């Protein structure tokens, strides 16, 4: 890592999670622009050499960072946690952030400025498996990208504004995608979920497929392109040793601002054409499924809200993400007294998430997201299955969601 370390590797809390050194950009000289000039940008081969370069620069591109800050952020501190470490990831994240100048133990209190500490904000990633752990649910199938941590928290601060140095584009090649299932197997899985609903075992299930492709070159520019896709509310990149996540998610899991808790569930997708919009608005099936998801969101907020304050501000609004129309609603409530980040995560997870700056908490579901390890890029796509779901339509919808992601990663 470039720069002068002002903090040695040390243990934080009772869970044996290591905090990586703080890099002082003021002492690091060219490190602030190393993302454009150093090993991270010039890595031209795949494998460990390229993946080791992910953390070579102090400058970072934080998902959902304010536009005014995006080109001037440097990493201050971070932690990684995996399920094998034991303990409570929600409590650990809250403890770590408080130790680094971001107290989030009571989100109903007015935000205090962080200028005295130099902290600008933080990014948080929580895997679906970690979310399931918080909910006391099974963690599901093994992670196809095991290099990813189950929890990553990166605290950031302002540094010198980055200036992109002109130069030849880095070499990049993306291989063929290998799917975790065939369209027929996907359709059969949809039918299996519908059968489980018919038996009364479940009332809705999120069914997701995985795909991976080998690559050669530096994956960070490809992942960065995702964040620029139209409608990517949580656009950005989060990196670590041997892994990186590029996010183009439009969906708010939960946001807390001025004591108000907000969620914006998305359910219902059509091609972004005039015909597609009309079909989505006219679909009784999509509207019924969407309202069911809204009811679940209302129930989730009721667990962390003041009694009687849960309201639906907007129902079934159609908005665009890339070349797709999506139906979105907004549910709001007043936060219960003493609501902290750990309680918020326990109430709204499972669900992988990314969070942003101090003053408020903004957690987004990491849909429309890709990840890189030392050898492959990974994508996931699927949807919520209900009794009225059509297997062929679900397969087509998953393909429509992942098509712009794969095209962007390939550079097309």
In this predicted structure, what is the pLDDT of residue 394?
A: 95
The pLDDT tens digits of the residues spanning 69-105 come to 777 888 999 999 999 999 999 999 999 999 999 999 9
User: Is the confidence at residue 49, as pLDDT, over 90?
Assistant: no
* Position 111 confidence tier, pLDDT thresholds 50, 70, 90: low
The pLDDT tens digits of the residues spanning 341-365 come to 999 999 888 653 444 444 689 989 9
* Position 18 confidence tier, pLDDT thresholds 50, 70, 90: very low
In this predicted structure, what is the pLDDT of residue 205?
A: 86
Mean pLDDT over the full length of the chain: 81
User: Is the confidence at residue 148, as pLDDT, over 50?
Assistant: yes
In this predicted structure, what is the pLDDT of residue 9?
A: 28
Catalytic center residues: 251, 267
Spell out the SS3 assignment of the chain: CCCEECCCCEEEHHHCEEEECCEEHHHCHHHHHHHHHCHHHHCCCCCHHHHHHHHCCCECCCCCCCCCCCCCEEEEEEEEECHHHCCCHHHHHHHHHHHCCCCCCCCCCCCCCCCCCCEEEEEEEECHHHHHHHHCCCCCCCCCCCCCCCEEEEEEEECCCCCCCCCCCCCEEECCCEECCCHHHHHHHHHHHHHHHHHCCCCCEEEEEEEEEEEEECCHHHHHHHHCCCCCCCCEEEEECCEEEEECCCCEEEEEECCEEEEECEEEEEECCHHHHHHHHHCHHHHHHHHHHHHHHHHHHHCCECCCCCEEEEEEEEEEECCEEEEEEEEEEEECCCCCHHHHHHHHCCCCEEECCCCEEEEEECCCEEEECCCEEEEEEEEEECCCCCHHHHHHHHHHHHHHHHHHHHCC
């Amino acid at each position: 890592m470039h720069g002068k370390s002002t903090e040695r590797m040390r243990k934080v809390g009772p869970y044996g999670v290591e905090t990586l050194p703080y890099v002082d950009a003021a002492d690091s000289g060219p490190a602030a622009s190393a993302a454009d000039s150093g090993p991270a940008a010039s890595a031209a081969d795949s494998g460990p050499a390229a993946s080791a370069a992910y953390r070579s620069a102090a400058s970072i591109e934080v998902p959902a960072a304010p536009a005014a800050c995006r080109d001037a952020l440097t990493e201050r501190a971070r932690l990684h946690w995996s399920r094998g470490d034991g303990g409570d990831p929600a409590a650990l994240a809250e403890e770590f952030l408080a130790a680094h100048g971001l107290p989030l133990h009571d989100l109903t209190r007015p935000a205090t400025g962080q200028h005295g500490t130099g902290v600008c904000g933080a990014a948080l990633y929580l895997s679906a498996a970690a979310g399931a752990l918080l909910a006391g649910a099974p963690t599901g199938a093994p992670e196809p990208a095991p290099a990813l941590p189950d929890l990553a928290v990166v605290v950031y601060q302002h540094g010198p504004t980055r200036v992109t140095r002109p130069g030849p584009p880095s070499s990049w090649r993306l291989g063929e995608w290998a799917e975790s299932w065939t369209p027929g197997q996907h359709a059969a899985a949809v039918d299996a979920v519908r059968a489980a609903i018919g038996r009364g075992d479940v009332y809705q299930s999120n069914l997701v497929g995985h795909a991976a492709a080998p690559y050669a070159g530096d994956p960070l520019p490809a992942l960065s392109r995702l964040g620029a896709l139209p409608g990517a509310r949580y656009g950005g990149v989060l990196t670590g040793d041997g892994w990186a996540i590029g996010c183009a998610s439009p969906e708010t899991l939960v946001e807390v601002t001025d004591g108000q808790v907000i969620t914006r569930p998305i359910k219902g997708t059509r091609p972004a054409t005039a015909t597609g919009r009309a079909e989505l608005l006219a679909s009784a099936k999509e509207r019924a499924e969407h309202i069911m998801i809204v009811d679940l969101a209302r129930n989730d907020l009721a667990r962390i809200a003041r009694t009687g304050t849960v309201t639906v501000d907007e129902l079934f609004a159609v908005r665009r993400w890339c070349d797709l129309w999506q139906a979105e609603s907004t549910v709001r409530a007043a936060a219960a007294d003493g609501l902290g980040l750990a309680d918020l995560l326990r109430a709204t997870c499972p669900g992988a998430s990314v969070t942003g700056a101090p003053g408020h908490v903004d957690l987004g579901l990491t849909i429309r997201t890709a990840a890189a390890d030392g050898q492959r890029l990974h994508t996931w796509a699927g949807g919520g299955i209900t009794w009225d779901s059509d297997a062929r339509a679900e397969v087509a919808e998953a393909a429509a969601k992942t098509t712009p992601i794969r095209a962007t990663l390939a550079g097309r």
